[in-house]
Structure 1
């Protein structure tokens, strides 16, 4: 439990996710482990920090392939999120160098470029949809940083191709299975969109294979020319799946986190002023550099708190391959286990005033940043499948917020904001923001 009892001005109402709140209600009555059925699938909810720690420490009991099968429609059969065991380790080892924090810092200028291009389109004093604006900016930033100008130049086109797929995987797995079996119009539209995106990505893979010198610093080049510990290369299909996963997951979840950060700060105008003062003092109003990032502590705390209240994946799943007992309850093989960052992060046993947006809880007395145990704070999951793009995401968020604050104060007008999607927890209908200049 936190001990900071300092008074803070009231913030905007906390936005909840109904399906996660239902699980919260059930856990209060039935304990940290309970079972449900949806169609033919058996689910076991393992909720709370002890459950998170158990799941992260016992990876051998679980598989991801069956649990995340709904994502195959977008990410592909060999994506990291649906890979297990040696296949997962091999693919991850090839992707990892491009996601290392030192490599991510080399992308800072592209992140600022994408932010500034997007922000140049807004007019001070007039509302704009911050979710959609930063969604496009983060998509372009991700594609510039990871894959270079050729793919980034078509970021809106690829985004349009991926949108039907992202809408498809918003459904429950059983619904996606039904669309696939019946070959519904939704399914056919999604597969046609995927074919268009794949055509572009495979052409870019072929180009880099023939002209490696054109993309030496981008992740696509790393994927094409990288080798695992045995000297094995990824196949074209594997490369495609990692490329699409990084693009789709990168902008879909990161843009939602950006919107929630702005929403939270919108209820704390005095904190906006403090964060803006820090950005101007540290950067002089210029694009942030690698040396600036550790000094933008208020910006980092604002983002960390938004990810606490609105984690990218409100709930995440594993498929049980070896039965076990936890908290006195047996969980059988074939069960889909669900753990919840959302429920953990809103626990009053872990966080004082858990429904209040309070970035100060992440700052120590000396202005440094506070960290929490990985089973207490898990916006990017945990264990061997922890999101490989977490550093990329938090760096993009820091740069985007710093560039916005450099332009002036902003406010969030009164509006109805609702969260949707367990997979991405985004604000339905966007988020209206006004830049005051």
Structure 2
């Protein structure tokens, strides 16, 4: 099969997908457990866009890397593909929040939460976002020129503060490190359970039976303590309706069809989901953006020139967003090369067919944005950093689902507008005041956990402009 000629058909299956046989697939399992991204890359390079991997006698994994596959699974036939069993470990931490729930519960949650993330509502969060970025940069301003700064840690605390203030009206600076550590613990546990066939069917057993029990149990308790404080404080101080209700207001005021309010358990799950997932993805985007700008000085100079011309030294306002075209292109290219969620996985509910290949019910489908974003059918020089491909007018004829950093279909990220406003304003304000240079040997290796992090974090050299 040619990597550049895949199409999706919905007729009777006519061929068998390429892929390893049962014996080779069994030998691959340890490699998938150690480094799933590298294993996926190897399968793609050897077998092409659509790879069949027989994991168990009655369970098959399909790796699908073409934009047309992404469209089929995430959009055209999305009703047939539900969140895969591999997401179960996340429910140990997130419960039945918007990311992990399914069916009628998810439908109710989405209807409740979607209005808060409209363009009009999100635009009101911008002043709070810029105030948080200013505070972070003021902290850097107290450091000597040439200091080594922990970029990934700083971006995690910054985006956590933004989410805390915008969505929950809370100052999380005092507990930021605890929550950030909890996110790392959540990913550690989830990845361990995902890669262990004994834990995946019942991941909660992992909290009682694995060597990491105390650490992971403590992670759940730490984040629950923060969430309980947030909800208790809001309930205790509820008064007249606020001019700009936040997510916590919406959740507390929500009523289901029978008139009942959201219960404490569901309230907890929604807060945890947005607190943890809502800041981690943006922090990852900002971290990789800083790295790529440090590695490509010409792109950084163009960014600085645009920011100076558009903002003239002031902080960004909503009207500036459409004028910061290169800034937005840089962020989009960072998400293309390093998508926050490197893979999206679904389980087939009924028999289907993709690209002439029968997909039996119960199969797991992995659609990795990391590979879709590098497909040669959609991208020239797919491994290169080139923000110009996202400038207005560029990319005509590119498949719509060649770029899926926020997923696609109804299960696409509800907070994408929030995330873009947050990251564009942060990158623009940082470029006004500082440059971040790579340290010698500072090219990070990727760490494919739930999100795509730089292994060991990212440290860079801070210099004033």
TM-score (norm 2): 0.82
Query: Equivalent of 2:315, from 287, 308, 330?
Result: 287
In structure 2, C-alpha distance between the alignment counterparts of 1:134 and 1:322, rounded to whole Å: 42
Query: Equivalent of 2:362, from 331, 334, 339?
Result: 334
* Cα offsets for 1:284-313 (capped at 9, x unmatched): 222211111111111100000000011111
Matched, 1:24 2:41: yes
What residue in structure 1 maps to residue 127 of structure 2? 109
Distance 1:131 1:174, change over 3 A: closer
In structure 2, C-alpha distance between the alignment counterparts of 1:228 and 1:386, rounded to whole Å: 23
Question: In structure 1, the residue corresponding to 2:428 is in which secondary structure?
Answer: helix
What residue in structure 1 maps to residue 100 of structure 2? 82
Residue correspondences, number: 418
Asked whether the 8 Å contact 1:179–1:186 carries over to 2, the reply is no
Question: In structure 1, the residue corresponding to 2:107 is in which secondary structure?
Answer: helix
Deviation at 1:237, TM superposition (A): 1.7
| Mean CA deviation greater in 404-413 or 419-428 | 404-413
In structure 2, C-alpha distance between the alignment counterparts of 1:263 and 1:372, rounded to whole Å: 26
| Mean CA deviation greater in 91-100 or 344-353 | 91-100
In structure 2, C-alpha distance between the alignment counterparts of 1:304 and 1:221, rounded to whole Å: 32
Query: Equivalent of 2:160, from 134, 139, 145?
Result: 139
Question: In structure 2, the residue corresponding to 1:205 is in which secondary structure?
Answer: helix
Asked whether the 8 Å contact 1:276–1:409 carries over to 2, the reply is no
Which structure has the larger Rg? Answer: 2
Question: In structure 2, the residue corresponding to 1:342 is in which secondary structure?
Answer: helix
Matched, 1:350 2:378: yes
Distance 1:150 1:229, change over 3 A: farther
Matched, 1:66 2:66: no
Deviation at 1:342, TM superposition (A): 0.9
Matched, 1:421 2:448: yes
In structure 2, C-alpha distance between the alignment counterparts of 1:214 and 1:428, rounded to whole Å: 47
In structure 1, C-alpha distance between the alignment counterparts of 2:92 and 2:119, rounded to whole Å: 30
Residues 28-427 of structure 1: pairs in structure 2 closer than 5 A: 28-38=45-55, 42-55=60-73, 56-64=75-83, 66-76=85-95, 78-122=96-140, 123=143, 124-151=145-172, 153-175=174-196, 176-177=199-200, 180-181=204-205, 183=208, 184-213=210-239, 216=242, 217-227=245-255, 233-364=261-392, 373-414=399-440, 415-427=442-454
Question: In structure 1, the residue corresponding to 2:345 is in which secondary structure?
Answer: strand
Asked whether the 8 Å contact 1:95–1:222 carries over to 2, the reply is yes
Question: In structure 2, the residue corresponding to 1:97 is in which secondary structure?
Answer: helix
Asked whether the 8 Å contact 1:348–1:354 carries over to 2, the reply is yes
* Cα offsets for 1:338-378 (capped at 9, x unmatched): 1111111111211111110000111136xx99896541110
Question: In structure 2, the residue corresponding to 1:433 is in which secondary structure?
Answer: strand
In structure 1, C-alpha distance between the alignment counterparts of 2:263 and 2:400, rounded to whole Å: 33
In structure 2, C-alpha distance between the alignment counterparts of 1:337 and 1:140, rounded to whole Å: 35
